[in-house]
Amino acid sequence: MRITLLPALAPLILAGCQMTAPEPEADACNASGWMWLIGEPVDVVAASTFPAPMRVIGPGDPVTMDFLPNRLNVTYNEAGFVTDVYCG
């Protein structure tokens, strides 16, 4: 009687060959350098110069679902104050 282990081992062998996508750099857009904006009036954002790409997102604004690690996003609330700065 001949027993072949190859079919049983194939999933394990192939699992070791799977390629994974590289993790995007957490601060590729230098959001940490713009954290001082949080709590500031959104008018400060309009008066500042930012690297491209960049977008300002207000309450209820439609935004695309694409993820660009080097894009700086600045969000503000109904009162007109910056609430978050992040990459994406």
* 54: CATH: 3.30.10.10
What's the domain range around 80?
A: 25-87
Q: Assess whether pLDDT exceeds 90 at residue 87.
A: yes
What is the DSSP code string of 9-72?
Answer: HHHHHHHTT---PPPPPTTTT-GGGGGGGTTSBHHHHHTS--PSSEEEE-TT--------TT-E
Q: CB within 8 A of 26, min separation 6: which ones?
A: 87
Average pLDDT for 26-42: 94
pTM recorded for the entire structure: 0.70
**Better-scored residue on pLDDT, 1 or 72:** 72
The confidence score (pLDDT) of residue 26 equals: 74
Looking up tokens 């949080």, which residue turns up?
38
Average pLDDT for 44-61: 93
The confidence score (pLDDT) of residue 7 equals: 62
Counted domains in the chain: 1
> Rounded to 5 degrees, what angle do the CA atoms 70, 74, 77 make?
160
Q: Assess whether pLDDT exceeds 80 at residue 17.
A: no
